[in-house]
């Protein structure tokens, strides 16, 4: 039996995301969908593992919008369902979400957004909490692992109570840290699905699921939100710790509660500072807030990333001013706390010191000097592709093709491991100067290609991963073809959603639940659109290079090159070398004219190292994945396959 | 504020970040810690200041991929001089001086030829590179090179060393039929091979799109497959560079003037002491007025609805001022003015029309009055002792016929060559906008000094 199905009352160490999954199981979830994205992926993965035992339907959907739609269908048919995504996934789902909140739901439907303050594994630190306010969804934020489970379970009940979707928001430090959770009961009965639609248009449990009549339904929804507010007043997930009359009140939620607790303890301010921790952050329970705002004049709001809570508390305080008087608020607006990046106990402690005029133990005087010296000794560790990564070979090919073409072509980047080509230019050989959201590379390329009439004569390339292709690229690709955009579109097909942990995608003949499913062929889609399509192995530098240079020279049409080579860390490849590779020292030119360390200075595979004493390149056998690409790039043929 | 600073410090841990208050102290801090920074020299040099707002200065590592870091980490000395490759780019490629000869190609992985352009694929930071040393368009003591390869007494200012000057043609009529003019080059190579003076020859070979590449020919019978003028540039020296690694034995190379100069620089360059140049035994130069850019010329062919792969040959018949383009089906005359537009820019700055640095130089014989009589003959300039021996051997073996040129021929050739020198130097001064800056040439060279336009000299 997996840990996720532990019996009631057992205490289990759960990853935050596992706690969320357990909560959903306890609530009797039937359908769970999502699109992989750090830090959210483990919720769906955990549920997929127990799908057959718990009679669940678990799906890695093509993108977040479809994930929410699939989950909503289950809700409409009376089942409990959830859709799980990372912060920017909510943006993708948001168009459907707007209409979903307007039509309402039936079976409990929970939208889980796992966010990434500080962009630890994202290229944004987007805030989806504002969607809760904008689309009028109840918002729950767990601040420990037990709460992650309990709040998830409660979210389903709330959703059914309000007849609408409920949002649960986690952050990296919650989703990816682990803590003890006392399990509750797993339900025995599962629901039967049936979609009723014969009732009146205003009957959300029997009528059609549509947003019209819009204004009437909107008013009804807002009324229900008022009921939720009342529920939130009494929620045990909102609690206060601290003295009766604190000098300073911290209002916080999520993992920031832990930072605030630790900061107060660190400075020994337990008797001066109180903490109001909120688990229900939208809509705010006004009476609860009033009660606590009365306690003191100084309020510090601690949250990640943007001042969402701060704004809502201030609005509420403004309406209460005749009763609670004027408070001083500290937070993001006065720059007491940064409104970018993650928080931590030190940052919160510094704010507390500043507000309460207490001093922390000072650092030694020569600290700056010493730290600078130490900093200088930190080895330069650049972000780079793994040894044996097909992307390195792909970008090598792309770089060379662009250089040969000579018109200063460039690659519009996209989201995947290959994003590193933009984050660390040496990794992408300085080819990828744009990077935005999933699928945007192709859209941008389609746009750049239309600037020829204004004098732009650079060849336009774009890349996307196999999973990204299905997620958001297809509309942009159709746009490019239809509008005669001259672009070279390259699919870096590494046989899985590699960056988030090899979740399957529509290109693979396997589902999240390990069922055999039809694979959707990228080449066939591109051919059907009418593009010129070629497929190559990025490790075959000669063939790939020829295709790319011919594509760049072939003007006026959409060209698609699918570079197929599985990720070096994929389960089928990991630990297996195609070739054993070594350096013939007598042939290696090293840093002499004629080579100047092409392999270690320019190509830069982490498995190629430079021996300072012999002044020769060396293959690090442990790191080498045996792809053999360095054999092709060595001008001296000194790197050999054994 | 203070927290934001700390946050940034955390994010960029390892690099110094100062807030506004510290901006004023910034220089002080750097000065105070100068001793340490000197010890850790790279720290100072491997970072750039990035001002992101009035409030912050962030110091980030230069380019994360920047080699300076890597070199420093490896204990390599700081390289202050610009790399040879960067100089090549600045002095030659960006100045449109690149002749496309291929001298910088095939030596290393960094320069390649693609569609008759020299492309720098990746950056190389070496300061003493062969690429710069061998390039016929980088500065060098050309007088010195001339002296070390030829008898000083043979050297003429107009056409370089002249040991002998004749009209010549291959004795074999079948060979002449395949050749552009007299088949002299093919005949000479044939004899050199038959007599084991060379084991193989590097000639240029044209593909369907009129792009050329150097090709190694090891059998005498194949030589005539590569006869005829090509009019586009061939990276022949790249083939030499590439093949020298693989082949043993003595090699003869057929070159344009710029290629002959590149090979001469290789022979005399101090950097080339690894012996790779040793197989080079014979350089046969071709007279050259200019070469065509493949790209522009293909466009021109397109205008005349000639597909490049159908072209069987080209010629500039004397006195007609046209380029004749032959296909199996037709002959098309293209006015020279249109052809001129396709000439590589670099050729405008070339002062050598007779391949002055070759052992023997061969060109078409075409003189105003004697057109018909000269048709099917070459002019040949014998420059080196080895060249003289080869020509005499070819005549003795009955492979080559020679006759005396008309009395005025040598002077006509010299006049034409001198005119090209004057024009090229004028173009160079126009480009550099100073008579003191002759790009790859120097007025210390008496040949250059002689043909620098009198008016230009006065202006200086």
Contacts of A302 in chain B (CB under 8 A): none
Is pLDDT above 90 for B121? yes
Pairing of strands A328-330, A298-302: parallel
Give residue limits of the domains in chain A.
Answer: 3-233, 239-356, 390-564, 581-641
Chain A stretch 75-134, residues whose beta carbon is closer than 8 A to a beta carbon of chain B: 118
Beta bridge partners of A163: none
- Least confident among A127-141, A181-195, B35-49, B169-183: B35-49
CB-CB contact of A386 with A407 (8 Å): no
Q: Is omega for the bond preceding A283 within 30 degrees of 0, making it cis?
A: yes
pLDDT top residue among B332 and B179: B332
CATH fold of the domain at A581-641? Alpha-Beta Plaits (3.30.70)
Predicted pLDDT of residue B243: 84
Cross-chain residue pair A403–B14, CB shorter than 8 Å: no
**Cβ atoms < 10 Å from Cβ of A537:** 13
CB-CB contact of A419 with A435 (8 Å): yes
Chain A's closest residue to B245, CA to CA, is A636
pLDDT, mean of residues B9-27: 43
- Going by C-alpha positions, the residue among B7, B38, A381 that lies closest to residue B17 is B7
CA distances from A560 to A390, A445, A498 (A): 17, 13, 21
- Least confident among A226-230, A264-268, B47-51: B47-51
Pick B67's closest partner by Cβ from A595, A601, A612: A601
Cross-chain residue pair B6–A350, CB shorter than 8 Å: yes
Is pLDDT above 80 for A368? no
User: Hey, is the C-beta of A635 within 8 angstroms of any chain B C-beta?
Assistant: yes
- How many angstroms away from the CA of A33 is the closest CA of chain B? 34
Chain B's closest residue to A425, CA to CA, is B65
pLDDT digit string, tens, across residues B162-203: 999 999 999 999 998 888 888 999 999 999 999 999 999 998
pLDDT digit string, tens, across residues A300-340: 999 999 999 999 999 999 999 999 999 999 999 999 999 99
pLDDT, mean of residues B212-231: 83
Predicted pLDDT of residue B22: 43
Cross-chain residue pair B64–A403, CB shorter than 8 Å: no
Pick B107's closest partner by Cβ from A382, A404, A594: A594
Q: Which residues contact A178 (CB under 8 A, 6 or more apart)?
A: A13, A14, A15, A16, A145
Size of interface A-B (CB pairs under 8 A): 114
Predicted pLDDT of residue B405: 87
Predicted pLDDT of residue B242: 86
The CATH number given to A239-356 is 3.40.50.920
Chain A's closest residue to B122, CA to CA, is A602
Contacts of B63 in chain A (CB under 8 A): 425-426
pLDDT top residue among A365 and A230: A230
pLDDT digit string, tens, across residues A254-297: 999 999 999 999 999 999 999 999 999 999 999 999 999 999 99
Give residue limits of the domains in chain B.
Answer: 2-73, 153-423
Chain B's closest residue to A351, CA to CA, is B3
Q: Which residues contact B218 (CB under 8 A, 6 or more apart)?
A: B199, B200
Contacts of A335 in chain B (CB under 8 A): 1, 3-4
- How many angstroms away from the CA of B201 is the closest CA of chain A? 24
DSSP letter at A296 equals: -
Cross-chain residue pair A426–B124, CB shorter than 8 Å: no
CATH class of domain segment(s) A3-233: alpha beta
User: What is the pLDDT confidence band of residue B372, given thresholds at 50, 70 and 90?
Assistant: low
Is pLDDT above 90 for B37? no
CA distances from A492 to A37, A430, A565, B63, B427 (A): 18, 17, 8, 26, 49
Is pLDDT above 60 for A204? yes
Contacts of B121 in chain A (CB under 8 A): 399-400, 403-404
- Going by C-alpha positions, the residue among A283, A150, A288 that lies closest to residue A224 is A283
Beta bridge partners of A581: A641
User: What is the pLDDT confidence band of residue A211, given thresholds at 50, 70 and 90?
Assistant: very high
Contacts of A430 in chain B (CB under 8 A): 65
- How many angstroms away from the CA of B73 is the closest CA of chain A? 8
pLDDT top residue among B3 and B213: B213
Predicted pLDDT of residue B246: 67
Chain B's closest residue to A604, CA to CA, is B65
- Least confident among B14-18, B56-60, B151-155: B14-18
Is pLDDT above 90 for A617? yes
Mean pLDDT (chain A, rounded)? 95
- Least confident among A300-304, A505-509, B58-62: B58-62
Residues of chain B above pLDDT 90, percent: 55
User: Hey, is the C-beta of A185 within 8 angstroms of any chain B C-beta?
Assistant: no
Contacts of A375 in chain B (CB under 8 A): 13-16
pLDDT, mean of residues A628-638: 94
pLDDT, mean of residues B288-311: 91
Is pLDDT above 90 for A366? no
Is pLDDT above 60 for A512? yes
- Least confident among A355-369, B144-158, B255-269: A355-369
Contacts of A424 in chain B (CB under 8 A): 64-65
Contacts of B5 in chain A (CB under 8 A): none
Round to whole Å and give the CA distance between A562 and B394: 57
- Least confident among A153-157, A524-528, A550-554, B3-7: B3-7
ipTM (interface pTM)? 0.83
Is pLDDT above 70 for B139? yes
Pick B7's closest partner by Cβ from A338, A427, A601: A338
- Identical fold between A3-233 and A239-356: yes
Round to whole Å and give the CA distance between B431 and A428: 37
Task: Write out the two tokens for B223.
Answer: 């030589």
Task: Tell whether the torsion through CA atoms of B222, B228, B230 and B235 is positive or negative.
Answer: positive
Predicted pLDDT of residue B74: 33
pLDDT, mean of residues A66-91: 98
CA distances from A412 to A229, A365, B173 (A): 46, 48, 60
Round to whole Å and give the CA distance between A55 and A52: 5
pLDDT, mean of residues A586-611: 94
Predicted pLDDT of residue B391: 96
Contacts of A597 in chain B (CB under 8 A): none
CB-CB contact of A534 with A540 (8 Å): no
User: Hey, is the C-beta of A215 within 8 angstroms of any chain B C-beta?
Assistant: no
pLDDT, mean of residues A122-146: 96
Beta bridge partners of B59: B49
One of 3.30.980.10, 3.40.50.970, 3.30.565.10, 3.20.20.70 is the CATH number of A390-564, namely 3.40.50.970
Q: Which residues contact B339 (CB under 8 A, 6 or more apart)?
A: B292, B297, B300, B323
Predicted pLDDT of residue B373: 67
């Amino acid at each position: 039996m997996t840990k996720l199905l532990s019996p009631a009352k057992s205490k289990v160490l759960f990853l935050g995301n596992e706690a969320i999954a357990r909560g959903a199981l306890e609530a009797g979830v039937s359908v769970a969908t999502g699109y992989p994205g750090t830090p959210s992926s483990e919720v769906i993965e955990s549920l997929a593992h127990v799908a057959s035992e718990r009679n669940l339907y678990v799906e890695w959907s093509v993108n977040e919008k479809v994930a929410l739609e699939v989950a909503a269908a289950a809700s409409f048919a009376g089942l409990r369902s959830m859709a799980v995504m990372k912060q920017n996934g909510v943006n993708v789902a948001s168009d459907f979400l707007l209409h979903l909140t307007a039509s309402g739901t039936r079976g409990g439907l929970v939208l889980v957004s796992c966010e990434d303050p500080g962009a630890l594994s994202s290229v944004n630190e987007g805030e989806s909490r504002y969607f809760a306010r904008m689309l009028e969804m109840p918002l729950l934020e767990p601040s420990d692992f037990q709460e992650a489970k309990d709040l998830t379970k409660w979210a389903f009940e709330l959703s059914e109570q309000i007849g609408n979707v409920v949002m649960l928001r986690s952050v990296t430090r919650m989703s990816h840290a682990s803590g003890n959770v006392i399990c509750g009961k797993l339900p025995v009965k599962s629901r039967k699905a049936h979609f009723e639609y014969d009732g009146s248009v205003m009957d959300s449990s029997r009528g059609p699921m549509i947003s019209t009549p819009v204004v009437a339904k909107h008013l009804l929804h807002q009324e229900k939100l008022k009921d939720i507010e009342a529920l939130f007043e009494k929620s045990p997930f909102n609690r206060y710790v601290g003295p009766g009359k604190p000098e300073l009140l911290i209002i916080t939620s999520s993992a920031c509660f832990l930072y605030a607790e630790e900061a107060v303890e660190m400075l020994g301010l337990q008797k001066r500072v109180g903490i109001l921790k909120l688990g229900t952050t939208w809509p705010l329970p006004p009476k609860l807030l009033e009660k606590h705002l009365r306690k003191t004049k100084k309020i510090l709001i601690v949250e990640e990333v943007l001042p969402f809570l701060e704004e809502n508390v201030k609005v509420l305080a403004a309406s209460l001013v005749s009763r609670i008087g004027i408070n001083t608020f500290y937070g993001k607006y006065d720059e007491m706390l940064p409104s970018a990046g993650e928080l931590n106990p030190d940052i919160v402690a510094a704010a507390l010191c500043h507000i309460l005029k207490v001093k922390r133990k000072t650092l030694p005087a020569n600290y700056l000097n010493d730290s600078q010296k130490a900093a200088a000794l930190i080895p330069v560790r650049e972000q780079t592709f793994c040894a044996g990564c097909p992307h390195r070979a792909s970008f090598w090919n792309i770089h060379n093709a662009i250089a040969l073409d000579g018109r200063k072509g460039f690659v519009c980047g996209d989201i995947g491991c290959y994003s590193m080509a933009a984050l660390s230019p040496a990794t992408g050989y300085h080819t990828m100067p744009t990077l935005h959201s999933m699928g945007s590379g192709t859209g941008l390329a389609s746009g750049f290609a239309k600037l020829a009439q204004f004098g732009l004569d650079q060849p336009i390339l774009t890349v996307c991963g196999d999973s990204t292709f299905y997620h958001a690229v297809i509309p942009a690709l159709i746009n490019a073809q239809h509008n005669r955009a001259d672009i070279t579109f390259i699919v870096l097909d590494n046989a899985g959603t590699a960056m988030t942990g090899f979740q399957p995608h529509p290109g693979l003949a396997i589902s999240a639940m390990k069922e055999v499913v039809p694979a959707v062929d990228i080449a066939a889609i591109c051919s059907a659109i009418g593009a010129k399509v070629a497929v190559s192995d990025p490790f075959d530098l000669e063939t790939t290079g020829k295709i790319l240079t011919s594509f760049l020279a072939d003007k006026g049409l959409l060209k698609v090159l699918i570079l197929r080579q599985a990720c070096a860390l994929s389960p089928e490849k990991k630990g297996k070398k195609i070739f054993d590779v070594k350096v013939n020292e007598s042939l290696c030119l090293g840093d002499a004219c004629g080579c100047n360390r092409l392999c270690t200075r320019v190509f830069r595979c982490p498995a190629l190292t430079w021996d300072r004493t012999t002044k020769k390149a060396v293959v690090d056998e442990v790191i080498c994945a045996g792809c053999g690409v360095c054999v092709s790039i060595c001008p001296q043929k000194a790197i050999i396959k054994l | 504020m203070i927290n934001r600073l700390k946050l940034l410090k955390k994010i960029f841990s390892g690099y110094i970040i100062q807030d506004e208050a510290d901006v004023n102290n910034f220089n002080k801090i750097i000065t105070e810690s100068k001793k340490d920074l000197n010890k850790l020299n790279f720290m100072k040099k491997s970072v750039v200041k990035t001002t992101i707002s009035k409030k912050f200065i962030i110091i980030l590592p230069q380019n994360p991929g920047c080699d300076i870091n890597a070199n420093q980490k490896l204990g390599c000395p700081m390289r202050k001089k610009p790399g040879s490759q960067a100089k090549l780019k600045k002095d030659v490629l960006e100045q449109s001086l690149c002749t496309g000869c291929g001298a910088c190609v095939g030596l290393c992985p960094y320069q390649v030829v693609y569609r008759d352009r020299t492309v720098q694929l990746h950056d190389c930071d070496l300061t003493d590179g062969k690429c710069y040393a061998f390039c016929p368009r980088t500065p060098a003591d050309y007088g010195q090179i001339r002296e070390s390869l030829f008898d000083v007494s043979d050297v003429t200012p107009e056409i370089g060393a002249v040991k002998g000057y004749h009209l010549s043609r291959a004795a074999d009529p079948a060979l002449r039929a395949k050749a552009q003019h007299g088949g002299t080059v093919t005949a000479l190579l044939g004899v050199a091979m038959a007599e084991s003076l060379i084991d193989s020859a590097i000639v240029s070979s044209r593909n369907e799109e009129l792009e050329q590449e150097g090709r190694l020919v090891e059998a005498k019978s194949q030589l005539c497959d590569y006869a005829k003028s090509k009019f586009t540039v061939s990276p022949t020296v790249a083939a030499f560079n590439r093949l020298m690694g693989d082949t043993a034995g003595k090699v003869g190379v057929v070159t344009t003037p710029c290629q002959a100069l590149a090979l001469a620089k290789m022979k005399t360059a101090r950097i080339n002491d690894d012996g790779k140049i040793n197989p080079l035994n014979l350089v046969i130069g071709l007279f050259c007025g200019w070469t065509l850019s493949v790209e522009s010329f293909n466009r021109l062919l397109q205008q005349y609805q000639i597909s490049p792969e159908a072209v069987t040959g080209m010629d500039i018949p004397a006195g007609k001022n046209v380029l004749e383009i032959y296909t199996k089906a037709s002959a098309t005359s293209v006015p020279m003015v249109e052809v001129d537009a396709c000439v590589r820019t670099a050729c405008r700055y070339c002062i050598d029309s007779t391949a002055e640095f070759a052992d023997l130089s061969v060109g078409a014989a075409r003189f105003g009055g004697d057109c018909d009589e000269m048709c099917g003959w070459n002019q040949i300039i014998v420059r080196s002792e080895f060249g003289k021996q080869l020509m005499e051997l070819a005549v003795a073996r009955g492979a080559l016929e020679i006759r005396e040129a008309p009395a005025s021929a040598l002077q006509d050739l010299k006049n034409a060559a001198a005119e090209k020198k004057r024009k090229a130097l004028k173009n160079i001064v126009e480009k550099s906008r100073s008579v003191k800056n002759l790009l790859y040439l120097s007025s210390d060279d008496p040949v250059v000094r002689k043909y620098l336009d009198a008016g230009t000299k006065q202006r200086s």
